[in-house]
Structure 1
Amino acid sequence: MNAAHFRNAPRYWRSPLLPGADMVMAEYYDHEFTPHWHDAYTVQVIEAGAECYDYRGGHHVAEAGTVPVINPGELHTGARAVDFGWRYRVFYLPPAFVEDLAREMTGRAASTWFPAAAIRDADLAQRLVIAHNALENDADPLAAETTLIDAVTTLIARHALERPSIVTLASDATRIETMKSRLADDLLAPVTLAELAQTVGLSTFHAARLFTRETGLAPHAWRNQLRIVKALPALRAGASVTEVAAASGFTDQSHFTRHFKRAFGVPPGRWR
């Protein structure tokens, strides 16, 4: 037996940001899924190895970097497609969540059925992994919710069998300033995308889309940039990086350092 093969090791968890959903991080070696179905959209990202599955009368192979999607209620299997198995991340998304997002995007009921073959879209796979990681690690709720909405709406926009016609909002300086004020009001307090959208009477999809288009940054990225700018005087005055990170609303020093270095090219301690 090859000592380098994956283990049979799944881990399930849930997030309050996505009620009714399950998330899985798993690797499998010799486990085989018998024919079964789920009452959710099963959205997978293969991170290593390869999985094969029987679905809709065909036999499919999903290699690393692909996104197999199983529609609710549809029978399918699952097994390794290479000797050492496969590792993947999975979202089990409630149908209402996916359907409501499609409705927000289009302004009407829209089809959210996906193809049987694994989707080969590296950018989509990366977006899904970012969202999955954010939910797994209890990240800033604004970042987690925004990346989740981004990933799932990208899946719908690019790969639904009936491509949706997305409603585009006109520029709206008043709404942008209102959202900026909400994000800046208390940098220590968590803010969700749903709360931000509610302040301007928009859906989460359109609030995030409008804000990102008009400012060039997603809401959580804009808020983190504001936190960094407001942290500079304390750093100049000699405060420790740990103190500044906590006072600026970052989850910890490493979170602050990571974002600071992206903006300034050096860690905050060296900048100081």
Structure 2
Amino acid sequence: MMGNIVFLRPLNVFHHPSEFVTFKTSPHLPGVELYSARLVDHAFAPHVHDGYSIGAIEAGAERFRYQGQDHIAATGSVVMLNPDEMHTGQAEADGGWTYQMLYIEPDTLLEMTGSEAFFPNAAVHDPTLALAYQRAFKAMWQAGDDLAFISSFTQLIDNVVSRYGKNAQLVQPVSARRQQRTLAMQRVLECMEDNLDQSLGIEQLAAEAGLSMFHFVRSFAAIYHVTPHQYLQARRTARAKTLLAQRNTPSDAAAAVGLTDQSHLNRWFKRAYGVTPAQYQQQIGTRPALAIR
């Protein structure tokens, strides 16, 4: 399933100017495909997917036939279709519908949940979960590494499965083993702190904790209340703040903490502290002097 983004906009299929369909395979987690679309006039013929189809309606409303019944998924709905189930899809509102989907191979969800989960409800109106889905989907679409992708993916799918899935056995940290898990996570924190300038992968950090990657994300979040990726980026931003206070340039600070470039640092720094690195240095008087040419 790995590959580049594929844009599907054939003239003989899409007639409305705002319609689009965009697929993106995940280079960070085989067995997962991302899909974003806005459709107005187009109607899907009966079709199936080999894996699970889990998505959220961002705007408008969709009507689809599934398991012999008609369903309507309006804005704020979460859609959950089981593998190999025939279904259709068309607009229920004049303006069409905008939505995002994750297509997940059964083996991937089996590894994650510990059993063959299924979803008895094809669509539920859950605006809070739908909004969380959209935020996580955007983060996954933009994820630059497997740690970012799998952190967002695990939390999102755990939320969906725990609320609406059946026969799933999510592996959660046992309270009696919390101290042991905390000690294992200390090794993870030390690994992060010692390698802020390096690209840290999910498998490396999970191995430090002695856990599978999905169990690692759950255990880490249970102890520290953030995902491993959120924690790592926070530590990188904090280290960059120290370097900026020591008169390092924003570009040097970004490189020193493993961020790809200054614009990457700008985004994380402003998100954490409300100002850009340059504004921070200007305010505390540590902005490096311009080089004289």
Q: Same fold (TM over 0.5)?
A: yes
3-state secondary structure, aligned to 2:223: helix
What is the CA deviation profile of residues 141-185 of structure 1, one whole-angstrom value per residue up to 9, with x for unaligned ones? Answer: 312110011111111111113464754333233201111122223
Q: Compare 244-253 and 175-184 and name the one that shifted more.
A: 244-253
What is the CA deviation profile of residues 68-105 of structure 1, one whole-angstrom value per residue up to 9, with x for unaligned ones? Answer: 111101111100010111111111100111111111xx
Q: Contact 1:31 / 1:79 at 8 angstroms: preserved in 2?
A: yes
Match of 2:47?
A: 36
What is the CA deviation profile of residues 4-44 of structure 1, one whole-angstrom value per residue up to 9, with x for unaligned ones? Answer: x7633111111111213321111111111111111110112
CA RMSD in angstroms, aligned pairs only:
2.1
Aligned length in residues: 262
Are 2:201 and 1:222 equivalent residues in the alignment?
Answer: no
- Could you tell me which runs of 5 or more consecutive residues in structure 1 were left unpaired when the two chains were aligned: 104-109
Are 2:128 and 1:123 equivalent residues in the alignment?
Answer: yes
Match of 1:182?
A: 191
Q: Contact 2:51 / 2:83 at 8 angstroms: preserved in 1?
A: yes
Q: Normalising by structure 2, report the TM-score.
A: 0.82
Are 2:220 and 1:211 equivalent residues in the alignment?
Answer: yes
- Pick from 25, 37, 60: which aligns with 1:14? 25
Q: Compare 10-19 and 236-245 and name the one that shifted more.
A: 236-245
Match of 2:102?
A: 91
Match of 2:204?
A: 195
1:219–1:167 Cα change, 3 Å: closer
Kindly state the Cα deviation for residue 55 of structure 1 after the two structures are TM-superposed: 0.8
Which AA in structure 1 matches 2:257? S
Are 2:274 and 1:265 equivalent residues in the alignment?
Answer: yes
Match of 1:154?
A: 159
Q: Contact 1:111 / 1:160 at 8 angstroms: preserved in 2?
A: no
Q: Contact 1:187 / 1:248 at 8 angstroms: preserved in 2?
A: yes
Match of 1:145?
A: 150
Q: Contact 1:6 / 1:27 at 8 angstroms: preserved in 2?
A: no
Larger Rg: 2
3-state secondary structure, aligned to 2:50: coil
Q: Contact 2:171 / 2:215 at 8 angstroms: preserved in 1?
A: no
3-state secondary structure, aligned to 1:128: helix
1:217–1:245 Cα change, 3 Å: same
Q: Aligned partners of 1:100, 1:117: CA distance in 2, in Å?
A: 22
Kindly state the Cα deviation for residue 237 of structure 1 after the two structures are TM-superposed: 2.9
Q: Aligned partners of 1:40, 1:162: CA distance in 2, in Å?
A: 16
Identity %: 32
Q: Aligned partners of 2:89, 2:224: CA distance in 1, in Å?
A: 43
Are 2:89 and 1:78 equivalent residues in the alignment?
Answer: yes
Q: Contact 1:35 / 1:76 at 8 angstroms: preserved in 2?
A: yes
3-state secondary structure, aligned to 1:181: helix
Q: Contact 2:76 / 2:128 at 8 angstroms: preserved in 1?
A: no
Q: Aligned partners of 2:260, 2:127: CA distance in 1, in Å?
A: 29
Which AA in structure 1 matches 2:200? V
